[in-house]
Amino acid sequence: MRRMRTDEFSRRLMREHTLTSNDLIYPVFVLEGAGRSEDVASMPGVARVSLDRLLPVAERAVQWGIPALALFPVIDRGKKTPEAEEAWNPAGLVPSVVARLKKEFPELGVITDVALDPYTSHGQDGLIDPRDSRGYVLNDETLEALAKQALCHARAGADVVAPSDMMDGRIGHIRAVLDKEKLIHTRILAYAAKYASSFYGPFRDAVGSAGNLGKGDKKTYQMDPANSDEALREVALDLQEGADMVMVKPGMPYLDIVRRVKDTFGAPTYAYQVSGEYAMLKAAAQNGWLDHDAVMMESLLAFKRAGCDGILTYFALEAAALLKA
């Protein structure tokens, strides 16, 4: 076996998987206002930015061959309510950013997050009956809100809406609403197997939902990290309901799920290298414990080896720059 490993040329000839910039989706955090940039302390190299400062980032992504950005809004505290009405405001942050990005960079894919947690005063991804002392997130009532949010984003020009809420039946409900409005080309990227993970901490800091969530959790709707077969049932349902793509989240700790999903369904399969994964590698590299570029590229290649068609990663710009060099 070692004979074929002896030289670079023969290693290249038998290489099974390749990473390119076409595999990368760059998640970005966008703020209200102008001229604003706020570093995310727990995510070195990542900042929340206003639209005017996002445009040069989008231009760089296009130049380096990254197919799409995934938008995550940072909503002002005064606009957060129990019913999350700001989530479908046509003049709100996300629709405004989507419209401008599509005007300036029509070739760049724009993916929007469909979930209520950036907009709710309680930090949950769905609606809660104020009379319920348990704070249980209501399923069917939340579907109506999510559909309004997805429709708002699609009308603004979003290419892909990505429901990350994990409510039952939301893919079918959103697809039906989009089709009724003749938005038949708006794709749905379903967070189909999203786990109740502890790796999301820095992300919640970045979008400002951690404080609202407090000591609450999302275990009644996000998946139990102990389960694998359940993920296949979730993915099957989302595909049956009309999802065009499916996602596993988090990423590297769940590559076994990615492999099972890809082998079982053969559908376009994505994974999210989440904030905690990014923060760990960045911190280790900053301490000199790991070679930053080497582990970054190895981790991304691991997603491809597991079966991913694409990867949402905060490393996207850095990786694309290395791939272009």
> HSE of 240 in the Cβ direction (CA atoms, 13 Å)?
8
**CB-count exposure of residue 56 (10 Å: 0-12, 13-18, 19+):** exposed
Q: Look up 219 and say whether it is catalytic.
A: no
E-strand stretches of 32-124: 37-39, 47-50, 68-73, 109-114
- Pick the catalytic residue: 80, 148, 194, 304? 194
- Pick the catalytic residue: 249, 262, 282, 304? 249
| 72 φ/ψ angles, rounded to the nearest 5 degrees | -130, 120
**CB-count exposure of residue 79 (10 Å: 0-12, 13-18, 19+):** middle
Distances, alpha carbon 244 to alpha carbons 125, 164, 195, in Å: 22, 14, 20
Torsion angle of the four alpha carbons 70, 76, 77, 83, in this order, in degrees rounded to the nearest 10:
-60
Q: Look up 194 and say whether it is catalytic.
A: yes
The residues assigned a catalytic role are 194, 249
